[in-house]
Amino acid sequence: MKPIDGGICAVKGVHAGGIKPGKNGLGVITASGNSAGVFTRNKVIAAPLTVTREKIAEIGHLSAVIMNSGNANAFTGEEGIDDSVYMAKLLADKLNIPDKQIGVASTGVIGKKLDTNWLDENIDEVLNSLSNSSDGSHSAACSIMTTDTFAKESAIELNNGIRIGGIAKGSGMIEPNMGTMLAFIYTDAVLDSKSLNKCLKAGVDKSFNMIVVDGDTSTNDMVLLTATGESGVETDINEFQEGLDFVLKNLAKMIARDGEGATKLIEANVDGAFTYYDACLVAKSIVRSPLVKTAIFGHDPNWGRIIAAIGYSGANIKQDEISLAFSDGKNTVGLVKNGRITTNDRNSQNALKNIMEKKDIKILINLGMDNKSATAWGCDLTYDYIKINAEYTT
């Protein structure tokens, strides 16, 4: 496979556009095909998710998605459901397609009524901006940004010519299961809804469900995958899964890197676990820990906090088997080997200091139990995270 430009509009059959004039944004994606979705595990579920989930379960097909930012339309009761249904009908009438084929997504402040008048006033501008160019993908990605500092897009082309592209938003309230994040993924492969659903769930488990910014799970998380089939190619499912995983992980790392107030991307690589579940528990425990995150922000190699996070992760471990190192991808400094603190000379200490000052930091763990592995991504915890969230609605 090879990375390509264009985001979702690199995929045949996809047109997109959006506006973001202030705190509120509105975007539309048109692309008809078999679809699948993954939704938040929060038991308080936003109205758009309820509406969209029911549609996908009923027909497994979407022709378009309408999405807004600035208002989550969450915890808004039956009125919120009505407003989500209204969003779908608004777009359906404009495009002259059945509203049951319209997905709806929202992100923003919880507990406020959606301003449907604003949607009415701006929908035509969005539809006039629809394009199958990279500009269309970018404007759609920008339309759903809230505290994000950059638009998140990714696309690849497989060796057989099939393309997979995605856009996402997310910066805070992130620990997918999933977290305040939306992602819209498209492919021009020929795939049925059952296959898409299986691939999407597997891919999300290795990507969006392995990132932590602040440990909060949102009410509005949604990932939708649609196959337009316009390549005419029936791909090998394993090759497709590999490509989908690449796009999802790329978007997930962008979300972690763009965590509210973040200055560093943290990657926790865990090997030697007894089970894959144990590896996931340890990796996410490390990137979730406020003490680890603040140490990384302060360039402090306080590895004892990582050991503690491993210990309370719930995973099956033996402390005498744990090995730990820091890396920037080029240089690696070992700190613990098979449960014993390693002796570091002056050169190693200087190398460690240089690693801690980098923007991308890898924490390498080997549990010495078996051969299962997992990777999680997170970010540091900074003063700006507090400021952003202390003033979110004011």
Catalytic residues: 180
Contact yes or no for 87/164 (Cβ under 8 A): no
305 φψ region: left (φ > 0), alpha (ψ -120 to 50), beta (else): alpha
Structure tokens given for 17: 């556009």
Cβ neighbour number for residue 106 with a 10 Å cutoff: 28
Sequence-distant (6+) residues with CB within 8 A of 152 are 141, 167, 168, 169, 170, 251, 254, 255, 258
Contact yes or no for 27/126 (Cβ under 8 A): yes
Q: Which of 2, 32, 6, 5 is nearest to 132 (CA)?
A: 6
Q: How far apart are CA 340 and CA 146, in angstroms?
A: 45
